[in-house]
Amino acid sequence: MQFLGLLLVTILGLSACFEHPGSYHHPISTQSQLVQRYFDQGLVLAYGFDYERAFHSFESAVKLDPDCAICYWGMAYVLRPNLLNTRMDHASILTSWDALQQAIALIETASPAEQAYIRALAQRHSAQTEVDRTALKRSYANAMEQVAHQYPDDLDAATLYAESLMDLSAGDYWEADGQLKPIGRKLLGLLDAVLERNPEHPGALHFYIHVVEKQHPEWGITIADRLRALQIPTGHLLHMPSHIYLRVGRYEDAILVNQQATERDRANAQIFPQSGIYTLAHRLHNLHFLWYVATLSGQQEQALTAADQIVKLIDTQVVRQPGYGAFQHYLMLPLFTLLRFGMWREVLHQPAPDLDLIYPTGIWHYARGMAQLARGDGEAAREELEKLQAIAANPTLNEVTLWGINSTADLLQISTKVLSGELAAKQGKTAQALALLKQAVQLEDQLSYDEPPSWPLPVRPSLAAVLLANGEPAAAEQLYRQDLALYPNNPWSLNGLARVRDLQDQIGVKTHLELEPVLESPVYR
């Protein structure tokens, strides 16, 4: 049987099958076990946002069973604007439309539930390039709501309905005061109901993490652990628990799951057709997450290795294309790593980016300014600051964004305030330094939520260090605790609290400060 499967893969050009698709199964109208397996695999991959490989899986099912209407539905389902990519190119529009028309042509051969899926998806697609896709998304969500109500025992119908609502809300589930918006409550109600009946549903587990991670990551701990235990062999689903682990201070677990994800990405690259968004985004996202957690938890070698792997994956021509500003940010991760760990000599030996890469050039000057300050050369730091300020004023930076979430203009404004504040602190201009660093904290807080955070070097510990150096341990302690609330147990702020305690002991201030064991790690100062 295994030999026959390999022969079919070779002769028919089919996608490879997973070693196992987890415990997930969605029975469809087919007599072929292999077609069923490809369908299950395709939907698991789609639940993991791995749309290219999902398409190949559904396409393989169609090659084996050309009369499988729901398999054509799968091809059309994954070729649509989604949470990761709101745009569709003309070729994808035509391919998805053709697949949907095939599903409609075969609809009488499908089960009633499959027919409902196909009719609902027909509300989502259009053969036109210029069309109100928000209206299409809303129509699809309304249709999937009816499908979920019509088939209450179909957990995928409920999960796909939840996903359709996520597509409409674009991640906006929480009020400014930390309370769930109505859409957030609706989503958690749907996903909780699915997980109550199938605690291992891959789509519901994945989507649940995305809903809760921003404001209440602790709600997702059990969910993350459950998804991790499934070991579904697709990189993004292996990685997803780290969105929770990072926010609750489980850094070792976050590193381990991202290591698994990057290894799986490497393996899948050998056995699956691969192109487009997954290679350019998901694989880099998993490595980026690994890098961020390593820097946050003080693991220098791990961070340097991850940054190097990221740079090796990036096509330097793609970084100049519209929509790929995040790749310019990724190119600077090695430099951010050197900054984070105080490797000042290495910072100053880094070559300048190409001049047409404005954002990387700005970060390069920022890093050099910080290094010159650390080496005691205030004049050289001032020169780097002036160059950074000139670059940060370039209006084109507003168009270069990190996946449309935050602009590189915002990031260079933060870097300008930080370098200006640190320079003022070195010059003994304490009031000016504090004002500038407080502005940097405000700018950092105003960034839209993203994981990992768009600005990779938290500013609060820098501001706290200036306060501590100027005899204000209480104010410094407050900032360190704020940083620890954002990233529990991170050694940078734990070490900051230890220095607060030391200073309070020296000046005879009674303190009730209790510290968890402080990890061995470099510190800001």
Q: Do 118 and 160 fall within a single domain?
A: yes
pLDDT of residue 521: 33
> Rounded CA gap, 230 and 238, in Å?
9
pLDDT band at 271 (very low <50, low <70, confident <90, very high): confident
Specify the residue for token string 């990992």: 452
Question: 267 and 366 in one domain?
Answer: no
pLDDT tens-digit readout, 132-174: 778 999 999 999 999 999 999 999 999 999 999 999 998 899 9
Identify whether residues 389 and 476 lie together within a single domain: no
Range of the domain at 97: 2-232
Instruction: Name which of 355, 308, 315 is nearest 332 in CA terms.
Output: 308
Tell me the pLDDT tens digit for each residue of 295-317.
Answer: 999 999 999 999 999 999 998 88
Position 4 pLDDT exceeds 80: no
List, in order, residues 6 or more apart from 24 with CB less than 8 Å away.
40, 43, 44, 200, 201, 202, 232
Over range 408-431, report the average pLDDT: 98
Q: How far apart are CA 387 and CA 365, in angstroms?
A: 7
Helices (H), 276-341: 277, 283-296, 300-313, 325-331, 333-340
Q: Is the pLDDT of residue 95 over 90?
A: no
Q: Tell me the whole-structure pTM to 2 decimals.
A: 0.91
Out of 275, 292, 313, a domain closes at 313
- The partner residues of 401 in beta bridges, in order of sequence, read 407
Of 275 and 326, the one with more pLDDT: 326
How high is the pLDDT of residue 504?
A: 67
Write out pLDDT tens, residues 337-347.
999 999 999 99
* 94 and 227 both lie in a single domain: yes
The CA distance from 416 to 391, in Å, is 10
pLDDT of residue 514: 46
| In contact, 435 and 451? CB cutoff 8 Å | no
pLDDT category at 512 given cuts 50, 70, 90 is very low
Q: In this structure, are 54 and 115 located in the same domain?
A: yes
427-471: per-residue pLDDT in tens? Answer: 999 999 999 999 999 999 999 999 999 999 999 999 999 999 999
Q: Strand, coil or helix: what is 407?
A: strand
83 contact partners, CB below 8 Å, separation of at least 6: 49, 163, 166, 167, 170, 171, 210
Left if phi > 0, otherwise alpha if psi is -120 to 50, otherwise beta: which for 14? beta
Which of 313, 334, 357 finishes a domain? 313
Copy the structure tokens of residue 497: 């609290």
Residues 12 and 143 in one domain: yes
pLDDT reading at 277 higher than 70? no
pLDDT of residue 505: 66
Instruction: Determine the Cα–Cα distance for residues 358 and 355; give it in Å rounded to an integer.
Output: 6
Residue 2 predicted with pLDDT over 50: no
- Structural contact between residues 60 and 15, judged by C-beta atoms closer than 8 angstroms: yes
Predicted confidence at residue 282, as pLDDT, reads: 86
Average pLDDT over residues 67-90: 84
Task: Give the pLDDT confidence score for residue 279 in this predicted structure.
Answer: 67
Which CATH number belongs to the domain containing residue 380 in this structure? Answer: 1.25.40
Region 66-94: mean pLDDT is 83
pLDDT in tens, 484-502: 999 999 999 999 999 998 7
254 and 393 in a single domain? The answer is no
Instruction: Say yes or no: 303 and 265 in one domain.
Output: yes
What is the Cα–Cα distance from 323 to 105, expressed in whole angstroms?
37
Q: What is the pLDDT of residue 29?
A: 96
**Which residue would you say has higher pLDDT here, 79 or 387?**
387
The stretch 395-417 carries a mean pLDDT of 97
Q: What is the pLDDT of residue 87?
A: 65
Same domain, 388 and 517: no
pLDDT value at residue 9: 53
pLDDT at position 517, please?
38
Q: Half-sphere exposure (CA, 13 Å, Cβ side) for 433?
A: 18
Q: Check residues 3 and 501 and name the one with the higher pLDDT.
A: 501
Count of structural domains, the chain: 4
Residue-wise pLDDT tens digits, 197-231: 999 999 999 999 999 999 999 999 999 999 999 99
User: Do residues 207 and 349 both lie within one domain?
Assistant: no
Whether residue 446 is found in the same domain as residue 473:
no
Residue 191 contacts residue 204 (beta carbons within 8 Å): yes
Output the average pLDDT for the chain.
90
Higher per-residue confidence, 10 vs 472: 472
Cα–Cα distances in angstroms (integers) from residue 56 to residues 26, 37, 127, 238, 507, in the given order: 18, 13, 21, 20, 68
Same-domain pairing of 228 and 99? yes
Is residue 7's pLDDT more than 80? no
Domain C-terminal end among 313, 328, 362 = 313
Gap between the Cα atoms of 360 and 311, Å rounded? 13
